[in-house]
Amino acid sequence: MARILVLSPSGEVYDHDNVRWYDHANLASHMDHYHNIGDAFVFDSSLKLLNFEKLDVLPIANPDMAMIDRLNAEYDYVFLRGSNYVHSQMEWEQAVQVLRRLKIPVIAFGIGAQAPVSGKLELSEDTKTVLRLMADSTASIGVRGVYSAEILNEIGIKNVRIIGCPTAFRANNPNLAIRLPALDTVRKVGVTLRREVSPTYAQDIQRYLTFHRDLVKSLAGRFDTTLMAQGEIEEKKLALGTAQQKEEAIAALRENGWANEWYLDAEMEALYRSRMFYSDVVAEYEQLVRRLDLVLGYRLHGNLMALANGTPSIYFTYDSRTVEFAETFKIPSFDVFSGKDFRLEEYWDQSLFDRFNATYARVYGAMRDFLVENKVDTKMVGPAVQPERKVA
C-alpha cells in the first residue's frame, strides 16, 4: 500500500484513519482557540477513502529542502485536504518553494473557491502558482463544484474534475440513498450552527442572524433539538466548559454587537445553555448524526456528515460555498436571503431527495474515477461488472 503525505492536515490521526483535534484530551489547552472541526471531518473522510500504510505531513512552514528531497524518495504522493483555499486572503507560507522541489504528485482532493459578495474574485500570485503546480503534477485536479472549476479555468488550469467532497463518501457506499420517514415520526433534530459570519461573503448580516435565531427557536419548539457547534469559542465553552467558562461565553455574546442585537435573546440563551453539542473528535459527531432523524442548518460538513450516514439534511445557503455544495449534490436547500419563510413541510418531499440520491451515485463515480486517474490506491468501489452475455 501507498506511503502518503498530507498538505494542510486538520487534527491528529489515531487508529490509522480516524481524526481528532490535537491534544484533544487537554481541553483547557485550546478552549480559547477557534478551529473549525468541519475541516477535521474532511481530513478523516479523505483517509477513509485511501489505502495507505504510512502517513506523514508535508511541511510548508520553514521547510528543510534536504528533507523534501528525502520525502521524494520515500513517499508516493501528497494530497491537499479539501477546503476553501481559493480566495483572496489565502496564505501559503513557503508552499511554492516546496512544491517546486517536490517530484511526486500533489493531489487536490476536493478544493473550493469562495466568491465575494461583490466584485470579481482576485487571487494572489502565490495561489495561482500553487494551483498550477498541483495541476501540472497530476492527471487532474479535484474541485467541489462548477464555480470552483470556472475559477481554475480562468487561470489556465484545464485538467479539472468536479468531485464534490470526501465527507459525502466517508461510508464508501455507492448505493447510499436518503429515504424520508413520515414527518410526524421525526423526533430528534440537529441544527448545525454558524453564528460567526463575514460580510465579505454574506450579503445581509442582520437577515442572516435573525433568520438563524428564528429557525433555531422554531425547531426547538417543535422537536427534541440539538444545537451542533463546530468551533466558535463561546459555543464550545457552553458545550464543554466549566461553570465559569459558560458564564464567560454568555458575557462575550452579550458584548458582541451583532449577536446581542440580532441573535442572543432570552430564549436563544436558554437553548444555548441547555442544547449545545461540540466535540473535538470526528467520530463523536458521526455517532450523533446517526441518532438523529433530521439535520439541517448552515454548516457544510456538519450537514454532509449527516447525509453520508443516511440522515436527511437540508442546507441553508448564504454564500457561494454553500450554494456550490448544494448544487454539486442536488441537496435540498433554502436561500437565507430569498426573503421567504422556511416551511419544513415543503422540503419533506421524497422527490427532492431522489434528486440527491441520483446525483450522489454519479458524483461518487466521479470521485472514484478521479482517484483512479491519478493512480491513487483507493477503497472506493468501482462500477458493477456486468456478466457476459452468452451467444447461442
**DSSP codes joined into one string, 219-255:** HHTTSEEEEE--S-HHHHHHHH--HHHHHHHHHHHHH
Position 382 scores a pLDDT of 79
Cell (9 digits) for 357: 440520491
Element of type H or E holding 20? strand 18-20
Distance CA 170, CA 180 (A): 21
Distance CA 342, CA 319 (A): 18
φ, ψ of residue 288 in degrees (nearest 5): -65, -50
Element of type H or E holding 18? strand 18-20
Element of type H or E holding 189? strand 188-192
Q: Which long-range contacts (CB under 8 A, 24 or more apart) does 68-73 make?
A: 68/98, 68/101, 68/102, 69/101, 71/5, 71/102, 71/104, 72/101, 72/102, 72/103, 72/104
In DSSP terms, which residues pair with 7 in a beta bridge? 80
> Contact at 8 Å (CB) between 14 and 40?
no
Q: Is 312 helix (H, G, I), strand (E, B) or coil?
A: coil
Position 383 scores a pLDDT of 61
| Strand 77-81 relative to strand 106-111, pairing | parallel
Cα 124 to Cα 61, 92, 129, 130, 152, distances in angstroms? 18, 10, 9, 10, 13
Rg of the Cα atoms in the chain: 21
Cell (9 digits) for 206: 442582520
Distance CA 388, CA 311 (A): 37
Place of cell 445581509: 204
Cα 17 to Cα 76, 123, 285, 301, distances in angstroms? 18, 33, 16, 18
What domains are there in the chain, each with its CATH number? 2-172+360-373 (3.40.50), 183-350 (3.40.50)
Cell (9 digits) for 177: 440513498
Per-residue tens of pLDDT for the chain, all 392 residues = 899 999 999 999 999 999 999 999 999 899 999 999 999 999 999 999 999 999 999 999 989 999 999 999 999 999 999 999 999 999 999 999 999 999 999 999 999 999 998 889 999 999 999 999 999 999 999 999 999 999 999 999 999 999 999 999 999 999 999 999 999 999 999 999 999 999 988 999 999 999 999 999 999 999 999 999 999 999 999 999 999 999 999 999 999 999 999 999 999 999 999 999 999 999 999 999 999 999 999 999 999 999 999 999 999 999 999 999 999 999 999 999 999 999 999 999 999 999 999 999 999 999 999 999 999 999 999 764 333 343 33
Per DSSP, the residues of 31-86 read: TT----HHHHHHHHHHHHTB-EEEEEE---SS--HHHHHHHHHH-SEEEEE-S--B
* Those residues with Cβ within 8 angstroms of residue 102's Cβ, 6 or more apart along the chain or in another chain: 58, 68, 71, 72, 78, 137
Distance CA 344, CA 183 (A): 9
